[in-house]
Structure 1
Amino acid sequence: MQQEVRFATFNVLNLAPPGVRFYADQDPYSQAQYDAKLDWIAQQLDLLDADVIGFQEIFSQTALREVLSRTRKYRDAQHVGFEPEGQDNLEANVLAGTLTPSVALVSRLPLVGQASNHFKMPHALAVTLPGIEPPVTTFTRPILHVQVLAGSDEPAVAGRPAPRPQIIDVFVCHLKSKRPDYRGGGSTDNDSYQLGLAMLRSMIRRGAEALGLRYLISDQLRRQRLPLVVLGDFNDVAAAITTQLVTGATSERRSLRERPTDRLFDSYRIQSRARPLRDVGYTHMHDATMETIDHVMVSDAFEPGAPGAIGEVLEVVYVNDHLGLRSPEASDHGLVLVRILLYGQKPGA
């Protein structure tokens, strides 16, 4: 009888088949490198022991399925993912720098309905980047939306309340990185003017994608108000305006509400079994700076102060020891695991 559900997000760093060039300036994996990477990812998955995992930087869904076959705990798990855009003309897209990885989801919980892959930004959202035409109307990496069934319909045992069967909406995202976008001209970081424009293009696009994801979330909550979780690489910290566009938050203060809200909560900030402002984790290192850019955001269904909450975030765990080791097969991101307690119901309730 499952009363705890574990969600995780995992940027695996360039999961691609051997012999396939995925970036123009990077050599393809050899068979030995590929095997080492698959084995490392499989080990991390077994260590996580999460029920639902969102993945980023998947250049091959087939490679991810092979990872699952090498695990102990996910050989029978369900896998949802779509191949990256540009596979039809792979070499040309690699040389043009337009091949981008996709996201995926693996679940040991039952899936409900059909998964959806959102490539085009909703509500005709379009933004113009400085020096680039036409306007951007798509996500860099499509957003994946899946519904999972958590809880159990088994009766309570020895007076303990049984968790209620519950459909949970899950979105998996990978927002635009901070890497400078030189498509409008320039190609060197030594030119401060071109560098500034290139960084601005990336920031604008990440903001547009964040708003597009917020539209998808709001649409889903208004269509069918179910508990909702977002797993992903946001490429920015929780307090950044782009991240807050996704959450719909202007403040991290916890308060009782009289009615449901469309905003999301940073699971790290609302966990009940830790002192989050004192115990700080991180998921990425850049220029000797440690920051958390991979997040698990949850709806008010998992905020105990909200009306109608069905559970709470018990704990957030960061798996990041490998970041200091810099093994070639390892990811450059830490993994985030979130433990959620589902509230029970008495028999006949």
Structure 2
Amino acid sequence: MASFNLFNYLEPPNAFYEFQRIYSVGQWQKKQKWIADYLTAHQPDLIGFQEVFSPESLKALVAGLGYPYFYVVDQPKVTDGFIYSEPVVAIASRYPVAEVEPVSADTKLAADLGLKPGFSFSRKVLRARVDLPHIGFCDCYVVHFKSKRPLFEFLPESEGEQGKPLSGEKILLEQLKAQVAGGWGAAMQRGSEAALLFIDMLSRREASGFPMILMGDFNNSLAQEELSFLTTSELRFDVADESKPYLEKYRLYDAWDLFRAAATDQEKAGRERQPSHYYGARGSVLDYILLSREFDAGYQLSLFEVSDHATYDRHLINPVFDRDGESSDHGVLLVTLTLRE
């Protein structure tokens, strides 16, 4: 299974975000080929896509590569008939998909958290009930949490309130204030999205008992507090030993940790977790696949184990323009599950 951020996937002559940002025919063909080449080479069976502006184009592309099941639960925003913003997530599968729906934020819980009325996910979360071999129905969630882009920025004006020019210090100070407040606002949005989604997942798990898969662009590290609860293994207060199996039933596991736990020393040798995104020379892991205990080799009744975990990043660390000129700004995360003997 793969989590794949497509980075502005929009068929021309439409524009993404600004009227002049339009792929030429050649650029679009190069982007389509890059995606097809990856899927052909790596053959994921289940794919969670992010940054989709042209769902019908993507549906046609993946159908020709052996993915008969393709779904979205939202549409991007369009202004002036051709300028697109607010891309959506999508899922493609080789295996049957029985149900697809958006996850809605619990409005009462959102209000209890102090969130403003009408709170919603920055991108609608997709939930698909996929019929996987051997294990049966699984609830698969595809997400693209709020980015680190500040919720608002300071736009300096030439004059202050009394018509006096703003000093360089004053402009810098106002920019700093906006950065602090806007950045924290983005983190609050991202954490609220993750919390409301996870609570919905817990309720769904309780009702259906289906295994869970959560994949996508989290836009921050799981180690950060606003996301760390997604893989929590303990409650704040002491829990009796007999209660721990219930926690294990409902928690999620980072696929990387499951791979490391199941791999032999030889398989782990020299394997470090690869960044999935770079800001300048600094790499970070923003893309994840989280799994319930049915995919944990340490769980006695699990059917699968994580046998490989890889991030395709050639286009990020060693790009070739003719091949990678219209690729993605994220690595493609691929997790391989193997049936346990």
Structure 2-normalised TM-score? 0.81
Q: How many residues align?
A: 309
In structure 2, stretches of 5+ residues that fail to align are: 157-170, 236-240
Q: 1:54 aligns with which of 43, 48, 51?
A: 48
Cα distance in 1 for partners of 2:76, 2:251 equals 31
Structure 1 residue aligned with 2:141:
171
Answer yes or no: is 1:141 the counterpart of 2:123.
Answer: yes
Summarize the Cα distance change of 1:299–1:62 in structure 2 as closer, same or farther, 3 Å threshold.
same
The 1-side partners of 2:26 and 2:19 are apart by 20
The one-letter amino acid paired with 1:338 is V
Runs of 4+ in 1 over 4 A off after TM superposition: 92-95, 127-130, 133-136
Tell me the distance in 2 between the aligned counterparts of 1:290 and 1:128: 36
Compute the displacement of 1:334 (Å): 0.3
1:261 match: secondary structure? helix
Q: Report the 3-state secondary structure (helix = DSSP H, G, I; strand = E; otherwise coil) of the residue aligned with 1:208.
A: helix
Counterparts of 1:1-349 in structure 2 under 5 Å? 7-24=1-18, 27-68=21-62, 73-74=65-66, 76-87=67-78, 90-91=79-80, 99-112=85-98, 114-118=99-103, 120-126=104-110, 134-135=116-117, 137-151=119-133, 164-182=134-152, 186-187=154-155, 190=172, 191-249=175-233, 258-259=245-246, 260-271=248-259, 272-273=262-263, 274-275=267-268, 278-324=271-317, 325=319, 327-343=324-340
In 1: Cα distance, 2:206 partner to 2:270 partner? 33
Distance 1:223 1:45 in 2: 34
Look up the match of 1:4. Answer: none
- The alpha carbon displacement at 1:32 in A equals 1.8
Aligned residue identity for 1:335? V
Distance 1:125 1:91, change over 3 A: farther
* Aligned partners of 1:60 and 1:83 also within 8 Å: no
Residues in 2 aligned to 1:135 and 1:128: alpha-carbon distance in whole angstroms: 11
C-alpha RMSD over aligned residues: 3.0
CA distance in 2, matches of 1:46, 1:127: 46
Contact 2:15 2:82 in 1 (8 A): no
The 1:218–1:20 alpha-carbon spacing in structure 2 relative to 1, beyond 3 Å, is same
Cα offset, 1:340, TM superposition: 1.0
Amino acid at match of 1:218: L
* SS class of match (1:237): coil
* Equivalent residues of 2:107, 2:118 under 8 A apart: no
Call closer, same or farther: CA 1:129–1:84 in 2, change over 3 Å: farther
Deviates more, 1:264-273 or 1:16-25: 16-25
* Contact in 1 for aligned 2:277/2:283 (Cα 8 Å): yes
- Tell me which residue corresponds to 2:166: none
1:266·1:296 contact (CA, 8 Å) conserved in 2? Answer: yes
| Distance of 2:74 and 2:245 partners within structure 1 | 43
Sort the Cα spacing of 1:200 and 1:52 in 2 relative to 1 into closer, same or farther, 3 A: same
How far has the Cα of 1:129 moved from its partner? 12
Which letter maps to 1:91? D
| Structure with more helix by fraction | 2
- The 3-state SS of whatever aligns with 2:29 is helix
